[in-house]
Structure 1
C-alpha cells in the first residue's frame, strides 16, 4: 500500500510537496526526497489529502534515523512564518540544515555535562530569593507565563534566573538562554559553571560545523539540557523545553535583518506560548514594547531595586560642552581621569563610533569620500590606513591627495571616532595604559578573554570603546565612565533613537562602581537640558519612559500601533522606482490603514542596490499581515527586484 505525505522543504515557498511512501510517516520525520533534479532534506509536515493531481507522485528516497522534529517546534515555525510574512520553507531553514544530519567521526565529541545541584549557590538577598521563588513556581506549573525581570545594573538578575533554570533542570526539562552578543557568552558560561559545575552547550556563529552538528543532534535527542546562544538558538528542535530566558531583552542585536526578518525577543514569547513554558525577559532598561505589555497586564513585572552586596549606584553628571573649550575631552573629564588614575582605579571612555573619523573631506574643494556601493560616507581607520564602509565592507587605501582637485595635504578627518579619542588621551595622559575595545579590535572569543583578563589584572588603566563596552561586563576597579558624545544617536528622526540612546547610556553607566568603590559617570553633551539627559542625571528611568510612551501613543506608533516596512531593491534605479510606484498605486485602502511612501529609503543605495520603501501603519487590532499578504500575492514583480518585508521594523535606514 502506498501512503501520500506532504513534505516541507527548506525552499522559499509557503507550501509542502506531496510524496509517496510505503508506510505511514510520523509527522516531523526527517526525510530525503528528490526535488528539481537533486536530493533535498525535508520533514513530514502533514498527511496529504487526495488531490486532483494526475501526474506521478515521486517516492521518498530515505528516512533519517533521528527523532522527529517535535510538534511544538513545527507549530512555532508555522506561526513565525505567518507573523513575519516569510515563506514557510525559509523558517524551516532556521531549524534544519542537511549538514546537521551527517554522521561523521569527530575528534572532540561534545559531552553535555550533568549539573550538580549540591554545589553551594550564591546566597540571595531577600528580594532576589522572593523573585526566584516566583519564577520557580511558574516553571513547576508547566504553563505559559511571561515575566519581565527588571533590575538596576548590578542587582543580581542573573543569579535569580539561574535559580529558575535549576528548577527546570530538576524537572528533567531543557532551558534556553538567549544572549545578544557572543561577547557576553564566556562570562555567562563562567558564572554557570561556578554554579552548576559543568558548562552548557553553546549555539552561535563562531562554532565549527562539527560543533553545530553535534549540538543540534544533542538538542533533538534531549541530551543537551542547557543551551546558551544567539538569536538563532530559538529555532532549534527542543523536545522538552521548560524555560526561556532572554537576557538584555531590549538589545537591538536580537533583531534579524535578513532572510526571515524577526525580533528574537518577540519570537521567544511566541515560542514559550507554543511550548507552554515561562519566558523571562531580563533588562535594566526594558524596551518600551515590554514596558507597555507589563502595564497592559500581558507580562508580570518582577523588580530588583538594589545592587547586590554593598555596591551603590554611580553619581551621574552632565558636562555642558557649550561652556567648554573646543576638544574631544573636556577639562572636567580630563581631571576626573587623572584623579581616577591617581587612586589606582580604572576608567571607561565610551563613544559609539568605530574608526578614527566618520568623514574625510578636502579642505580645498569640499570633496567628500563616499562609498562606491552605498550612499554613505567612508570611515577613516587610522590603524589600517584605509577608508572603510561599515555597510558593505568596501575599503580603500587612505589617499594622499584629493581625487577631485588633486591637492595634497588638504584632506581633513572630521569628527571623532574611538581611535582619535585614544590618540588624544595618550597625548594628554602619556602615563596611562590605554586599550581600544571595538568589534574591529576584538574579533574572537580568545581575544576577548585575553582582554578581560588584562582588565581584571589591572594591566589596563583606560578602556576606550564602543557599545561592546556596555554589555554586562563586571570589572570591580572601574569607577569612572566618561561618555564622549552623549548626544550621538539623538538625531536622525528614528522612531527609537531616544529610547536606544537612553538604554545605551544607562547600560554603559552601569559599568561604574560595581562593588564597594563608589562610581561616577560624566556625560559630555550639548543638550544638558534634554529630558533624556535629565533622566540620566536623576536616574529617573520611569519618567523618561512615560514621556516616550505618551509621544508614541499620540501618533499611534508602536507599541500602540503596528508598522510593516516593504522595501524594494534592485541594481537598476529606474526599475526600483517604477515597481515601488506600482506597489503604491495598488496598495490596499482602509480607513485604519496609513501608507507612507513610496519614497527612496534613507540609505537609498546599499551594496550596489537602489532601495525604495513603503511603510504601513495600523492599529494593533487591524489584521495587517493578512491584508498585506493578500495584496503582495497579487503582484507580479520583475525577477531582478528584491522585495523585503519587515514586520515591526527596528531600523529605518
Structure 2
C-alpha cells in the first residue's frame, strides 16, 4: 500500500498522474486515424448531441486513443462517454469504448473511419469508468486495454449489458377466485393452478416442469387469464417477504470485536480506512458480517475481496446462511454467462453483497456502502501479468472516491498497511483474543541438521503426528512445493534434471509420472537412465507434496491423507469437497501448499507441521522475509481454533536465525517492527516508491542492448530535468533465462511518487518510439510486489 503522498485528486498516495507524452518527447506524433492522448485521459461528464469526432479507447497496448466519425444513427440519448462501439481497427472489427465526444481531430475529418455500430443505449456505469481511468493512469497502462480487462468477457465481445432472465409464472387476481368453469374439463390445469396458488411469488418454469406439468398447460392458463408470465433476473432473487435482512441471528461479539465495529460505525458515510489487525481465529469475519448488515440495512452495497478462489465457496456459504438478500460471487471459476449475470446484478443494485477475488475490484456498484479486503497482505491481490494492478490499493482509491469506509483485515499486516496505521493514515483496530478460549499456538523450531528424514519429516515430528492422530485429532502438514520432489538427480555423476528452456530444475511428479518445469510448463518423460553417464541410479532430490503424501500414507495407513495443491484441485469443486470431508472431524492428515494457509477454518486441526521453513527466508527479493513470516503465521493459525489447544512444529536448518527466532519467540508484530526499521535504513518501500521495468528477448545481446540504451536515455533525461529519481540497472532478473527468453530489469526509485510517475511516463514514451523495443517484450510494474 503506497504511503501518503498528498496530491490533488489522490487517495493516500495513489496519485493521479497523466501519461501525456512530454513536449518534444519521441513518439509525440499521431498515427493514421489516431490522435495522441494520455492513456488515462479524463472522460468528460457531459454528452455531445451531434459530435463530429468520437475519441475511442481500443483494446491495444498502445497508450493512445483513436478518432472515428460517428455512425449515421446515434444512440437514443445521444453520444456519451462510456458507450461501447464496434469500430474498424486495421483489418478487423473491435469493441471499444467512447472516451470523449469532440468537434475536432488532429487529422482531417474526411480521413477518419466511421463507427460501425453502437452497442449501448446508455453509458457503462460511471463508477466503473472512473476506476478504469484511475487504474490506467496510475499503472501507466493503456486505457483501452484497461477497460477491456475490467469488463466481463461477453461485454468485450459486444453482448448487451444484461444478465440472463428466468421465466416465472404467477397466479393472477382472477386465478385466485372461485373455481373456473373452464377447468372442469381440464383437471391437470386445475391441479397446476392449485399448486401455483400455494406460491404467491410464483415459480420458475423448471420448478413447474419438475412437478410433471407442461409448458402447454401453463400457456393455456395464461390464455384463460388465470396465470401471468413474468421474467425475473436469474442471478438475484427477490427480497424476502418477511422483510427481515437476516436468515439467522448475529453472534454475540466480544469486547474487542464490539469496539472495532463501533469505531467503523462512527463514520459510515465518510472515507474511513481501517486496518482490522486481529490474530488468527479472532472473529474478523463476524465483524465483517455485522458491518455489512448495517450497510445493507441502509440500502447500500458491500464489496468483499478475498485472496483466493478456494476461499470463495466457504465465504459465500457463510454469508448466504446469514443473509436473506442476494449474495453474488465474482471470480475466475465462473462461466462467462455467470460472470456477466453477477456483474449486471451488482451494477443494477439488485445484489447488495458482492464477494470476489482480485478482479472483483472492478465490479460496478450503484449504491456503494463499504469495501472490505480480507487477508489484505496476500500477494494474490497483485496482478503479475498484463495490467499489473493491486486490488488492495485500488480499493483504497475507490473507497476514497465514493467516500465510504474501507476495512483491511489480516492477522499479519503488510508493512505498507502497518506503516499507514502507525502514521495515523489508517485507523488501527486490534483484536488480540481468539474466539476460542485458547491463545494462538507459538512456533516451535525443530532443528533438521544431522537427522534422518522420511518424506521430509524427522522422527520426533512423526511421533508428534502419531500422538495427535491417536488422540482423535487432525494434522496439517505444510510444504510449499508441488510435485513428488524438487528435481531428479543421478547418484553416480551428479546430473540434475534441468529445464532446457529456463534456468531452473524440473520437478519430479508421480501422478502422472513426468518431469515438469513450473516456470514454462515444459514436460518430458522420466528417463530410465542418466542422460550424462548412463547410470540407472536416479534418485528424487528433496520432497514435495506428493512425496510427503506417499510417505504419510505408508506410515499411517489407518487414516486418510488429503493432498491439497494446484495439481490435486484442478477439477471444479474438488477443493470444496475435500474441506467438507475434513470438517466432519474424523482423524486425518492434510498435506498442502499455501492454499491451506489462507483463512480456512479447520476446527479439528490441533497440530501443524511446517516441513521446511527455510525456502523463502533467504531469497534475493527484499520482501521475501516479510512474505515468509506472514505465511508461517497464517499456516500456524490453522491449529487450535476450537476446543483443543494447538501446536506448531517448524522444521528448519537455521533455528539460530535471528529473524526466525524473533518470530517464534515474540510474534509477527515484533518482527514487522524490525523489518520496518531495516526498510527505512535501506530506503525501501514503504519509505520509498519503486517501479520496475522488465525486458525480455530471445536474443541475449538484443535484450542487453535495449536495456542499456533505455537506461542511458532515461538517466540523461533525469539529469536534464533534475528529478530525484534513481535509475538502477539494468541487471539480469533472478531467473535470467525463462521460456528460452533472456530477462533483464531496470528499477526506478524515488522519494516522491509524482516524480516517479513522470519518469515512468518518459520511459514508456521512449520505448514506444524506439524500433528496437518492438522486437522485444517489455512491461512496467508500478509498486512491484516481487522482483522475480
Band the TM-score falls in, shorter-chain normalisation: over 0.9
SS at match of 1:3: coil
- Is 1:3 matched with 2:51? yes
How far the C-alpha of 1:127 sits from its partner, in A, is 1.8
SS at match of 2:266: helix
Selected match of 1:286 from 385, 388, 413: 413
Q: Which residue in the other structure is 1:136 paired with?
A: 265
Selected match of 1:404 from 524, 532, 535: 532
SS at match of 2:310: helix
How far the C-alpha of 1:199 sits from its partner, in A, is 5.3
Q: Over alpha carbons, which structure has the higher Rg?
A: 2
State how far apart, in whole Å, the 2-side matches of 1:431 and 1:98 are: 48
State how far apart, in whole Å, the 2-side matches of 1:98 and 1:33 are: 18
Q: Which residue in the other structure is 2:212 paired with?
A: none
State how far apart, in whole Å, the 1-side matches of 2:93 and 2:347 are: 23
How far the C-alpha of 1:61 sits from its partner, in A, is 3.5
Selected match of 1:15 from 36, 48, 64: 64
Q: Tell me, yes or no, if the aligned pair for 1:69 and 1:220 is still in contact at 8 Å.
A: no
Q: Tell me, yes or no, if the aligned pair for 1:560 and 1:620 is still in contact at 8 Å.
A: no
Deviations along 1:82-113, one digit per CA (max 9) or x if unpaired, are 21111111111122356235259778963224
State how far apart, in whole Å, the 2-side matches of 1:631 and 1:394 are: 34
- Range 23-32 or range 461-470, more displaced: 23-32
How far the C-alpha of 1:568 sits from its partner, in A, is 1.0
Q: Which residue in the other structure is 2:731 paired with?
A: 599
Q: Which residue in the other structure is 1:634 paired with?
A: 766
**Are residues 238 and 17 of structure 1, via their aligned partners in 2, closer, same or farther at CA, if it must alter by over 3 Å?**
farther
Deviations along 1:239-258, one digit per CA (max 9) or x if unpaired, are 32221111111111111011
Please give the TM-score of this superposition, normalised by the length of structure 1: 0.94
- Is 1:366 matched with 2:494? yes
- Is 1:127 matched with 2:181? no
Q: Tell me, yes or no, if the aligned pair for 1:454 and 1:460 is still in contact at 8 Å.
A: no
How far the C-alpha of 1:434 sits from its partner, in A, is 1.7
Q: Which residue in the other structure is 1:216 paired with?
A: 343
**Are residues 188 and 137 of structure 1, via their aligned partners in 2, closer, same or farther at CA, if it must alter by over 3 Å?**
same
SS at match of 1:644: strand
Deviations along 1:561-593, one digit per CA (max 9) or x if unpaired, are 111111111222221122112112222345733
Q: Which residue in the other structure is 1:185 paired with?
A: 312
State how far apart, in whole Å, the 2-side matches of 1:391 and 1:152 are: 34
SS at match of 2:267: helix
Deviations along 1:2-51, one digit per CA (max 9) or x if unpaired, are 41332222222333333344654233223333333443322232232523
- Range 196-205 or range 345-354, more displaced: 196-205
The 5-angstrom pairing of residues 140-539 of structure 1 reads: 141=269, 143-198=270-325, 200-322=327-449, 324-325=451-452, 328-408=456-536, 410-459=537-586, 461-539=588-666
Q: Which residue in the other structure is 2:123 paired with?
A: 68
SS at match of 1:425: helix
State how far apart, in whole Å, the 2-side matches of 1:147 and 1:270 are: 14
Q: Tell me, yes or no, if the aligned pair for 1:312 and 1:515 is still in contact at 8 Å.
A: no
The 5-angstrom pairing of residues 16-35 of structure 1 reads: 16-21=65-70, 24-35=78-89
State how far apart, in whole Å, the 2-side matches of 1:19 and 1:43 are: 12
The 5-angstrom pairing of residues 46-65 of structure 1 reads: 46-56=100-110, 57-65=112-120
**Are residues 199 and 437 of structure 1, via their aligned partners in 2, closer, same or farther at CA, if it must alter by over 3 Å?**
farther
State how far apart, in whole Å, the 1-side matches of 2:122 and 2:419 are: 40
- Is 1:112 matched with 2:239? no
SS at match of 1:464: strand
Q: Which residue in the other structure is 1:648 paired with?
A: 783
How far the C-alpha of 1:52 sits from its partner, in A, is 4.6
State how far apart, in whole Å, the 1-side matches of 2:329 and 2:122 are: 21
Deviations along 1:365-396, one digit per CA (max 9) or x if unpaired, are 32221222222110001221111111121111
- Range 62-71 or range 146-155, more displaced: 62-71
How far the C-alpha of 1:123 sits from its partner, in A, is 1.7
**Are residues 191 and 532 of structure 1, via their aligned partners in 2, closer, same or farther at CA, if it must alter by over 3 Å?**
farther
Alignment gaps of 5+ in structure 2: 1-48, 167-205, 207-232
- Range 14-23 or range 379-388, more displaced: 14-23
SS at match of 1:504: helix
Deviations along 1:390-434, one digit per CA (max 9) or x if unpaired, are 1121111111111222222x2121111122222332333333322
Please give the TM-score of this superposition, normalised by the length of structure 2: 0.79
Aligned-pair Cα RMSD in Å: 2.2
Q: Tell me, yes or no, if the aligned pair for 1:7 and 1:19 is still in contact at 8 Å.
A: yes
Q: Tell me, yes or no, if the aligned pair for 2:694 and 2:744 is still in contact at 8 Å.
A: yes
Q: Tell me, yes or no, if the aligned pair for 1:33 and 1:40 is still in contact at 8 Å.
A: yes
State how far apart, in whole Å, the 2-side matches of 1:631 and 1:442 are: 42
Q: Tell me, yes or no, if the aligned pair for 2:62 and 2:142 is still in contact at 8 Å.
A: yes
Q: Tell me, yes or no, if the aligned pair for 2:50 and 2:79 is still in contact at 8 Å.
A: no
- Range 321-330 or range 449-458, more displaced: 321-330
The 5-angstrom pairing of residues 535-550 of structure 1 reads: 535-550=662-677
Selected match of 1:625 from 738, 750, 757: 757
How far the C-alpha of 1:136 sits from its partner, in A, is 3.0
Alignment gaps of 5+ in structure 1: none
